[in-house]
Chains A and B, each alone.
Chain A
């Protein structure tokens, strides 16, 4: 549970956000994340995020489902407990295809949902620090990670000159934690709501 220092810049529209993201990146700062009220097309490219590997995971889950269904049904119906159903051969592949298909979809879907939740650190009772309460309302919030060498005032000035309407320095928990928001977090939240 490590705490870290972040510089937060708030923008009030995406037209200001895009050039700012590019400039912050070319200036060599490390953007931790950008929180937006709605999905912004092309922001992932601008931030230089790598392509998600969620679909590769989905393919592996799907293949697992196919193998499970095919292996399970064929073991049961040809080896463990062969039954004569309508005079069909024991290895009645066409009749199994729908079940194989559905198990493939089920494994892929459920597996991908859980993987997505894990990657986004979403789970019941899991808490994460909120950098600005208005990020879910109408504010585009860019969070930049500070290192030992980061000059915070310079960075704040740099953000303001690139269109940030509000800048802030926060020392916050970087990962997730179980339980409630701690006292520090509640205080910053209250202050922000009053200010908004």
Chain B
């Protein structure tokens, strides 16, 4: 392996068209933000809450989706997977967004929490908490101090461990490895990936969705909620990786990534769409079956209220479509269809986040409209800009990675 020279385009150059697109999207987003600030932001209390809530679910969604890219790297590393090496730098580039979007999330959330916006988080209102036995019981967890510290810790450690994973990955650019240095390299990767996964389980896998999202409906709880959020963001994260891989292939990069790798990404999207549905349905069915008023309150507005359409659209996009379209082997190997599915799934889980957050903030009005899509454009623009920059800053393939050969000759 080491004697052979690999022939590939190492350096990604950001095309001017991509720059134009990212700046245009950021521009549209900022415009929407400013217009929203002066229309919704100065309106009634509910309108103000919708304004903050819309920004909030967008930023949480994108932070978690980008963090899912690092989860993808760490999970495959721990499983001693070799197939992802040819396009691992793409996932790494996406994960560089965690600190950026993480800081935006922290600013938005801290603004909500520190100004005591109890239209969004009811547990911020001291008077209500004092009069409410359930909120009182949860106040050890749902309080400003814990919220702030835990959120900073979460975003900080994701960024730190992600940065370390990317730094280790850069070592494979320098020189060929022999057996011993290869072993050390794999071991270092394994330890950091293990630490990341543990921290990921303690945050995304359990506490953070409770704190950031579930506490909007402060009375209600579900033990499946965090897994449901995790599945949602992971599937969207893999879809995002797939989109970038297909984009780079279209531009003539990533010569060693082929249909076999696309097939496995497709399998991931298919499998985790089913997993998402499993959690979504388990959460729904148990509550529907036992029919306890304090539990059904969450679904009342979503299934029977004004959010009915979005609720069922969510299931159709995120379950029925992947099930029927991605089941066939040939569709997982088809670049056009995979692009379509990746976009559809990203949109579907964005809608999923919308219906997790907004019905808790504005029960009677479905606010989905220009402002939501404007803020979405802002985040897509930022994502394109930063991922493009991160891709250009490193070789596209770590050419001395011990698993590279396995990845090149890989077939499913």
Chain A residues within CB distance 8 Å of chain B: 41-42, 51, 55, 59, 86-88, 94-95, 97-98
Contacts and interface: CB of A to CB of B under 8 A. Distances in A.
B329 A55 contact: yes
Interface in B258-301: 281, 284-285, 288-289, 291
- Interface footprint category on B: under 10
A85 to B, nearest CB: 10
B288 A94 contact: yes
B35 interface: no
Given A94-B284, A97-B281, A41 B289 contact: no
A70 to B, nearest CB: 16
19 contacts: A41-B411, A42-B411, A51-B329, A55-B329, A59-B327, A86-B289, A86-B291, A87-B291, A88-B289, A94-B281, A94-B284, A94-B285, A94-B288, A94-B289, A95-B285, A95-B289, A97-B281, A97-B285, A98-B285
Contacts of B329: 51, 55
Contacts of A98: 285
Q: Which 9 A-B pairs have the closest CB atoms?
A: A94-B285, A94-B288, A95-B289, A97-B281, A97-B285, A94-B284, A42-B411, A95-B285, A94-B289
A95 B291 CA distance: 12
Contacts of B327: 59
Contacts of A51: 329
A41 B291 CA distance: 53
B222 to A, nearest CB: 16
A171 to B, nearest CB: 38
A8 B284 CA distance: 61
Contacts of B288: 94
A59 B329 CA distance: 13
A86 B281 CA distance: 20
Interface string B373-412: 0000000000000000000000000000000000000010
A97 to B, nearest CB: 7
Contacts of B285: 94-95, 97-98
A97 B411 CA distance: 35
